Amino acid sequence: MEIISKRKIWFIISALIIIIGLGSLVMQGLNLGIDFTGGTLMEFTFDQQVTTGQVREVLAEFDLDKKSVIQNTGENGILIRTISLNQDEIAKIQSTIKDKHSSAEMLRTEMVGPTIGSELKAKAYWALLIAGIAIVAYISFRFEFKFAIAALIALAHDILIVVGIFSLLGEKVGSPFIAALLTVVGYSINDTIVIFDRIRETVKYRDKESFAVLNNKAVLDTLPRSINTSMTTLVSIIAILVLGGATIKPFMLALLIGILSGTYSSIFVASPVLVEIDDWKKRRDSRQTA
């Protein structure tokens, strides 16, 4: 199987998906949740357990079921995070919940302002930047700088695909989405390093073959491991995505897209980009010595 020699095909496939995602980002942007845009927090307590599904049914009467994040707090508590509401709307929701669950008692209501959203956004950018710098430093130390650049390009590929598809689907983007992105970064780089480690071992003992041929052999040697690991992980993710409920859906969906993209990029992007960088360096060195 020739993977490296057909690298332009894989590059074109990746570029098409990324361009479509970027087009969606430009046209409609991301569906930012209240973590970023601000909104209203409401916390209730009950004398018995009330599920998030029961509360979501109440919010559906106000067309807020898909615009809200509902979490269990403590033994019998419920925390609702939703879009900005005025006092009348909050009072109607409180009254409806009280009608359906007589023991309901509102503990607090808070307005989450855009300042908190900006703070979260800045922390998200910093988290990704620090993760990127740490990855470049580690791979440059463990391998070579060109391996770090190839790995970073593969990670950027994965993040752009996840963000682009979320924009296309109009899925809600909140703090769990950022956590999912960082998880995808960790998973993808782990898969890529396994292949890079095999490349380094192969290059060390087979110096008569070209770097591209050795890369292809290394990718094929690790291909079953990469696919089997991803498949077992994806089975768990799909199970939780289907059965886990609405609250956890954005996180699991981002993981699903990210791990699919990460598996693809570790096989079809990282090593082919590494070969391209190596070819470019050889051409540059050849011009300098000519």
Which residues on neighbouring strands pair with residue 32, listed in sequence order? 173
Residue recorded with tokens 């569906």 = 31
Q: What is the pLDDT of residues 77-133, one digit of tens each?
A: 888 888 888 888 888 888 898 888 888 888 888 877 665 567 777 777 788 788 888
pLDDT band of 170, cuts 50, 70, 90? confident
Residue recorded with tokens 């192969």 = 202
Exposure class string for 23-50: b at 16+ Cβ within 10 A, else e:
ebbeeeebbebbbbbbbbebbbbbeeeb
Report the distance separating Cα 203 and Cα 190, nearest Å.
20
Report the distance separating Cα 74 and Cα 69, nearest Å.
16
- CB count in 10 Å sphere of residue 155: 25
Mean pLDDT of all residues in 32-55: 83
Which two three-digit tokens encode residue 244? 């886990």
Q: What is the pLDDT of residues 227-272, one digit of tens each?
A: 888 888 899 889 988 887 777 888 899 999 999 999 999 889 998 9
Predicted TM-score (pTM) of this structure? 0.78
Report the distance separating Cα 258 and Cα 182, nearest Å.
10
Q: What is the pLDDT of residues 28-38, one digit of tens each?
A: 888 887 777 77
Q: What is the pLDDT of residues 71-80, one digit of tens each?
A: 777 778 888 8
